[in-house]
Chains A and B, each alone.
Chain A
Amino acid sequence: MTELEAGRAQALTPVRGGAALHRYRDVLIALIAFAVLASLPLFTGSKALLDFVIRCSAYGLFATSLNLLVGYTGLTSFGHGMFFGLGAYSFGLIMQKLGVPIPVAFVATLAITAMVAAIIGAICVRLKEIYFAFVTLAFQMLIHSTILSWASFTGGDQGLRGGIPRPAFLGIDLANHVHLYIASCALLILGLLAMRQIAQSPFGYTLRMIRDNAARASFLGIDVWRAKLTVFVLAALFASMGGMVMALFVSGAYPEFAYWTISGEGIFINMLGGVSTFLGPMVGTVLLLLLNDTVTRFTEYHGIVLGVVILFFALGLRKGLLDFVAEWFARRRDAGEGRHA
């Protein structure tokens, strides 16, 4: 063993231990978060609050998965909402037409999403920034117009109506509001935990390297196209999960779920919360939904209010809320260390 190799081996060990420690910490945080969310119905009978959390779960899964693309890999997808819509429609159609148990439909929807995302991703990910944004947008619109025009199958502009059957399985009855609430929270927490693991894995760091310098990554022997495609499909799966939560919540699926505005909102949520922290999109989701609910109560022109808020974040803060907070803490800590030194 040369000195260099010995040094590297020593340097690596604590990092590995640290990674395991971080993983336990993440799991612990996830468990606590789930316990808090799941015990919420014990303290409050407010249906509106539970509904709000369910919607946050759906959008949160979607927005965080978009952050895997935008924040971690530097792929500005403007059509990520297509997988949200695809999840909602596939799940709804499978439940309506085949009448299989919910877990089967869940897995089948993920399989369909993975297939579609692999095909679309294979075409899209070799394109550069703005072209990537457009082509994903075009695919989104292609799926949206397919849903609209294939009315006999998808219900066209009326959406999937007549309700999605929600048969009980394993003692879980999703037609029951509290059960649905707990299931949504569980999906959200599991999804977030899985995405956190992806982001912190060696693969996650490969993605960051591709974002910062794709040419260097490819010189180091990384198959950039394959890594991008992998994360594109993975992100699509979580977006599809969000779509399924939404479909279960509204007991239907509507063409708006696959419209480009969903993607626009996803990007905006990421911007609002911040793309440099893992939980930024989650914070953004809560902020946007709160904002939407408040604004629509006071004015019908919520586009103007929303637009001004976006401008404030884009031109004023120039970063997301959690980015802002994180930087503030970093600056304070640096200042503190400076004083002690």
Chain B
Amino acid sequence: MDLDALAGCLSSSACLVTQTTSGLIIGMLLFLVAVGLTLIFGVLKVVNFSHGAFYMFGAYFAMTSYQLTGSFALAMLAGAAGTAILGLIFERVFMSRVYGADVLMQLLVCYAFVLIFDDVVRIIWGPEFKSMGMPAAFQVMPLFIAGGVVPPYYLLLIGVALIAAIVLGIGLSRSRIGKVIRAAAHNPGMVSALGINTGLIYGGVFALGGMLAGLAGALAAPVRSLTPGMGFSVLIESFIVTVIGGMGSILGALIGALLLGLIRSFGSLGFPLFTEGLMYLFMVIVLVSKPTGLFGKEAA
């Protein structure tokens, strides 16, 4: 425990800015993964335990296409599109068979894929740590805000995640497709009786969730090291986010992710060895006081 370091940081604006931005990027990446998880749960009533694998594949797809084309934009696109296709196939071929089954069965199918996907990555890309490297466009002088150092890439990352959050939020509440999705979450039988292909909606939502996780992985690729199994810690954290924010709530996922990001970045100063423990503690506290999460509905 190092409370002096934490107090010292809180009283200096430079450190405050640096820690807050690093908390924000952790939070934003977590948000992208968690919002897919919460969306899939909200509509399909399935907990995608293999969601971390999409994050992992997003990062690896981005790395490979960046190495092949040298274009950062294409790398992001490959990460997002590749995982969307993967999500669609995964949902249609496997997950659609266990809807309505036991939670246990759904967890098991996902657990199987966690094992399989990790090994697939190990076979294709090798077991060692990889890094994509920062694209040349972002290898510029960092910005100084109130004395704190902020790499420009962080701003891009936060911006992209924010745009995704806004588009998703408005899309779901205003657009026709968004309304159909929400209706399908509420009463799939009625929606399909009205002549809408719910299978297509389910596949689409799963693909969207996979795409968001893949995008997060692709965005994280320049700043994190890539390794098989990298998805799992992200998965656990985004579970915590969705549970804190409330399953099925997008706003909850955003708030939960930002809180968790800040806990991680400031906690690493005060409790360097127990940062992860802090997150679990926070989750326990939230659940004990409000079992459905901060923004969850009672019926969930």
Chain A interface (Cβ < 8 Å from any Cβ of B): 70, 76, 78, 123, 126-127, 129-131, 133-135, 137-139, 141-142, 145-146, 148-151, 260, 264, 267-268, 271, 275, 301-304, 306-308, 310-311, 313-315, 318
B288 touches A267 (CB 8 A): no
A-side contacts of B201, CB under 8 Å: none
Q: Are A133 and B116 in contact (CB under 8 A)?
A: no
- Interface bits B245-289 vs A (CB < 8 Å: 1, else 0): 001000000000000000000000000011011001101100110
A151 to chain B, nearest CB (A): 8
The one of B103, B112, B122 that contacts A307, using a Cβ cutoff of 8 Å = B112
User: Per a CB cutoff under 8 Å, which of B108, B115, B247, B274 touches A314?
Assistant: B108
Q: Is the interface of B mostly helix, strand, loop or mixed?
A: helix
The answer for the CA separation of A133 and B287 in the assembled complex, in Å, is 13
| Majority SS at the chain A contact face | helix
Known: A130-B103, A264-B111. 10 other contacts (CB 8 A): A123-B288, A126-B291, A131-B287, A142-B281, A268-B108, A271-B104, A304-B115, A311-B109, A314-B105, A318-B105
Point out which of A70, A129, A141, A264 has the most chain B C-beta atoms below 10 A from its C-beta.
A141
A141, B287: Cβ atoms closer than 8 Å: no
Contact present for B111 and A267 (CB under 8 Å):
yes
Nearest residue (CB) in B for A312 is: B112
Contacts of B95-126 to chain A: CB distance below 8 A: 97-98, 101, 103-105, 107-109, 111-116, 118-120, 122-123
Q: How far is the CA of A88 from the CA of B54 in the complex (A)?
A: 34
Residues of B within 8 A of A123 (CB): 284, 287-288
A149 and B103 contact, Cβ closer than 8 Å, known pairs A301-B122, A303-B116, A304-B116: no
In the assembled complex, the CB of B117 is this many whole angstroms from the nearest CB of chain A, namely 8
- What B residues does A310 contact at CB under 8 A? 108-109, 111-112, 115
Kindly state whether residue B239 has any CB partner on chain A within 8 Å.
yes
Known: A131-B287, A311-B109, A315-B109. A303 touches B119 (CB 8 A): yes
A-B contact pairs, 10 of them (CB 8 A): A135-B283, A138-B239, A139-B280, A275-B104, A301-B119, A303-B119, A307-B111, A307-B113, A310-B112, A315-B97
Give every chain A residue within 8 A of B276 (Cβ-Cβ).
141, 145, 149
State A306–B47 Cα separation when bound (angstroms): 21
Nearest neighbor of B282 in chain A, beta-carbon distance:
A138
Task: Name B119's contact: one of A133, A304, A318 (CB within 8 Å).
Answer: A304
The answer to whether A149 touches B274 (Cβ under 8 A) is yes
Chain A residues contacting B105 (CB-CB under 8 Å) are: 271, 314, 318
- Measured CB to CB, the nearest residue on chain B to A131 is B291
Please, how many residues of chain B have a CB less than 8 angstroms from a CB on the other chain?
A: 39
**Closest CB of chain B to A255's CB: distance in Å?**
13
| Chain B: minimal CB distance from A112 (Å) | 19
The answer to whether A134 touches B243, judged by C-beta atoms less than 8 angstroms apart, is: yes
* Interface, chain B (partner A; CB < 8 A): 47, 94, 97-98, 101, 103-105, 107-109, 111-116, 118-120, 122-123, 236, 239-240, 243, 247, 273-274, 276-277, 280-281, 283-284, 287-288, 291-292
Nearest Cβ distance between residue A311 and chain B, in whole angstroms? 5
Asked if residues B240 and A138 are in contact (CB atoms below 8 Å), the reply is yes
Query: Once bound together, how far apart are the Cα atoms of A133 and B106, in whole Å?
Result: 12
Complex Cα gap A260–B52 (Å): 15
**A145, A302, A308, A313 interface centre (most CB from chain B within 10 Å):** A145
- Which residues of A are found within 8 Å of B120, using beta-carbon distances? 304
Give the interface centre of B97, B107, B115, B276 by most chain A CB atoms within 10 Å.
Answer: B115
Q: Tell me, rounded to whole Å, the shortest Cβ–Cβ distance linking B275 to chain A.
A: 8
Do B291 and A271 have beta carbons less than 8 Å apart? Answer: no
Whose C-beta in chain B lies nearest to the C-beta of A299?
B119
Residue from A70, A271, A275, A314 having most chain B Cβ neighbours under 10 A: A314
Contact A138 to B284, CB < 8 A, known contacts A131-B291, A133-B103, A310-B111: yes
Which residue of chain A is the closest to B291 with respect to CB atoms? A127
A135 touches B118 (CB 8 A): no
The residues of A that contact B281 with a CB separation of less than 8 Å are: 142
A307 cross-chain contacts in B, Cβ below 8 A: 111-116, 119
Please state if B107 and A78 are interface contacts (CB–CB under 8 Å): yes
Cα-based distance from A264 to B247 in the complex (angstroms):
22
Q: Report yes or no: B243 in contact with A145, Cβ–Cβ below 8 A.
A: no
Q: Are A314 and B287 in contact (CB under 8 A)?
A: no
**Which 6 residue pairs across A and B have the least CB separation, nearest first?**
A149-B273, A307-B116, A310-B112, A303-B115, A142-B280, A303-B119
CA distance A141 to B243 in the complex (A): 15
Contact B111 A135 (CB under 8 A): no
Bound Cα distance from A325 to B45, whole angstroms: 31
CA distance A22 to B24 in the complex (A): 62
Residue pair B239, A134 in contact (C-beta under 8 Å): yes
Give chain B residues whose Cβ lies under 8 Å from the Cβ of A137.
236, 239
A176 nearest CB across to chain B (Å)? 37
Q: How far apart are the CA atoms of A129 and B122 in the complex, in Å?
A: 33
Chain A residues near B280 (CB, 8 Å)? 138-139, 141-142, 145
Interface centre among B98, B114, B118, B287 (most CB of A within 10 A): B287
Contact present for B122 and A135 (CB under 8 Å): no
Please indicate the chain B residues that have their CB under 8 angstroms from the CB of A315 in the complex.
94, 97-98, 109
In the complex, A78 Cα to B236 Cα: how many Å? Answer: 12
